């Protein structure tokens, strides 16, 4: 593998950095929302039935 | 059609997506790992030098940006014409991902444009039609949020999505129809050397799998949120 991008480093690394951050960010957001929804539903289902 | 309706039922979707997700998640990580490894092992291009490594994140982002829009359009059609019960949820769920991949395509493209064309941005057909795609996504999401009644919001958003579909072939053929700084189609026509083509295809697959995985998780999340809302409403006297 070669990470020496020479003079073009200033363009290549920001492009990779922004892409990695954005994709990691939206993955974490998606998973956090999923866990939140799951926990909320579980809490509601545990509630004693009011009927 | 029958196939689509069988899995339209949220219960079936939860079951099926739950079974598929572990595989798509693992395949995503594998593809991105192998793709990046191969991508950083290529020799510099004879014309573009090391900036050829931008190919492996720029083109996949663009492909997913258009794929996600296509997915929204198909779901919108299913919702408008066949009243497919899960289609609105699926269409709406894809939008934030589509918008993000479009933005990434624009940003990585602009960072590639500067060293190769001498400018970050030019108002030519490809770049402008791709920017329009971002605005379509943003407009689509804004419309969903703007209309209070969910059924009406879904209808309006679906119509916008279907009107906007005309932009997809414009993006695709913009490089043929108008003179543009952006290079022409090179993958299908076999102009990409195999040493660059393989990492590109694997990264593309990785990006597509990532989108599909996140999209499925998002739809599942919305289904659970809806169940919780129904429970809340049932619980209030």
Is A15 in contact with B58 (Cβ distance < 8 A)? yes
pTM of the model: 0.94
Residue A11 clears pLDDT 80, i.e. is over it: yes
pLDDT, tens digit, 9 for 90 and up, residues B13-49? 999 999 999 999 999 999 999 999 999 999 999 989 9
The DSSP 8-state label assigned to residue B124 in this structure reads -
Burial category of B5 from C-beta neighbours within 10 Å (exposed 0-12, middle 13-18, buried 19 and up): middle
Could you tell me which residues of chain B have a Cβ less than 8 Å from any Cβ in chain A? 37, 40-41, 44, 49-51, 53-54, 57-58, 61, 96-97, 100, 103-104, 107-108, 111-112, 114-115, 210, 214, 217-218, 220-222, 224-225, 227-228, 231-232, 235, 237
- pLDDT at B179 (0 to 100): 81
Q: Is a pLDDT exceeding 70 seen at residue A25?
A: yes
Note every long-range contact of B20-27, with CB atoms under 8 Å and residues 24 or more positions apart, other chains counting: B20/B216, B21/B213, B21/B216, B21/B217, B24/B209, B24/B212, B24/B213, B24/B216, B25/B213, B27/B209
C-beta neighbour count of A30 within 10 angstroms: 21
DSSP code of B165? Answer: T
In contact, B45 and B53? CB cutoff 8 Å: no
Has residue B210 got a pLDDT over 90?
yes
With CB atoms and an 8 Å threshold, state whether B221 touches A40: no
> Residue B88 to residues B42, B150, B153, B228: CA-CA distances in angstroms?
43, 10, 10, 18
ipTM of the complex: 0.92
The domain locations on chain B are: 2-230
Residue B82: per-residue pLDDT: 86
Are B228 and A37 inside 8 Å of each other by CB?
A: yes
Cβ neighbours of A12 in B, within 8 Å: 50-51, 53-54, 111
Report CB contact under 8 Å: B218, A11: no
Contacts 24+ apart (CB under 8 A), B128-131: B129/B167, B129/B170, B129/B171, B129/B174, B130/B62, B130/B65, B130/B102, B130/B105, B130/B106, B130/B171, B131/B106
- A12 touching B (Cβ < 8 Å): yes
Give strand pairing partners of B45. B49
pLDDT of residue B139: 97
Cα–Cα distance for residue pair B125/B111, rounded to 1 Å = 18
Whole-number pLDDT of residue B235:
72
- Taking CA B201 as the corner, what is the angle to CA B182 and CA B111, rounded to the nearest 5 degrees? 35
CB spacing of B224 vs A41 below 8 angstroms: yes
Query: Could you tell me if A30 lies within 8 Å of chain B, comparing CB atoms?
Result: yes
CA B4 to mean position of chain CA atoms: 21
Taking alpha carbons only, the member of B132, B113, B140 closest to residue B170 is B132
B122-131 pLDDT, tens digit each: 998 999 999 9
Highest mean pLDDT among A47-51, B8-12, B28-32, B81-85: B28-32
Partners of B49 in beta bridges: B45
Please report which confidence band the pLDDT of residue B7 belongs to, taking 50, 70 and 90 as the band edges.
low
What phi and psi, each to the nearest 5 degrees, are found at residue B45?
-70, 150
**Residue B168 half-sphere exposure toward CB, CA atoms < 13 A:** 19
> Dihedral of CA B136/B218/B225/B82: which sign?
positive
- Supply the pLDDT for residue B206: 98
Q: What are B32's strand-pairing partners?
A: none
pLDDT digits 0-9 by tens, B59-79: 999 999 999 999 999 999 999
């Amino acid at each position: 593998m070669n990470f020496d991008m020479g003079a073009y480093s200033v363009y290549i690394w920001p492009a990779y950095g922004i892409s990695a951050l954005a994709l990691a960010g939206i993955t974490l957001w998606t998973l956090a929302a999923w866990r939140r929804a799951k926990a909320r539903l579980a809490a509601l289902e545990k509630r004693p039935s009011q009927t | 059609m029958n196939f689509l309706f069988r899995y339209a039922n949220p219960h079936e979707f939860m079951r099926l997506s739950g079974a598929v997700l572990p595989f798509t998640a693992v395949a995503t990580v594998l593809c991105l790992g192998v793709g990046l490894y191969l991508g950083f092992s290529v020799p510099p291009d004879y014309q573009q030098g090391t900036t050829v490594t931008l190919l492996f994140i720029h083109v996949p982002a663009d492909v997913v940006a258009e794929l996600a829009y296509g997915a929204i359009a198909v779901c919108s059609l299913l919702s408008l014409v066949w009243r497919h019960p899960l289609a609105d949820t699926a269409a709406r769920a894809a939008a934030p991902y589509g918008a993000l991949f479009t933005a990434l395509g624009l940003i990585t493209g602009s960072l590639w444009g500067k060293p190769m064309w001498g400018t970050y941005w030019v108002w030519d057909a490809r770049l402008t039609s791709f920017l329009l795609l971002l605005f379509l996504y943003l407009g689509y999401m804004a419309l969903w949020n703007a209309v209070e009644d969910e059924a009406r919001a879904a209808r309006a958003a679906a119509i916008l999505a279907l009107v906007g579909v005309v932009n997809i072939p414009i993006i695709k053929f913009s490089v043929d129809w108008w003179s543009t700084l952006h290079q022409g189609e090179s993958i299908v026509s076999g102009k990409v050397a195999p040493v660059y083509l393989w990492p590109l295809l694997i990264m593309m697959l990785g990006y597509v799998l990532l989108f599909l995985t996140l999209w499925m998780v998002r739809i599942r999340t919305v289904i659970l949120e809806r169940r919780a809302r129904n429970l809340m409403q049932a619980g209030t006297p």
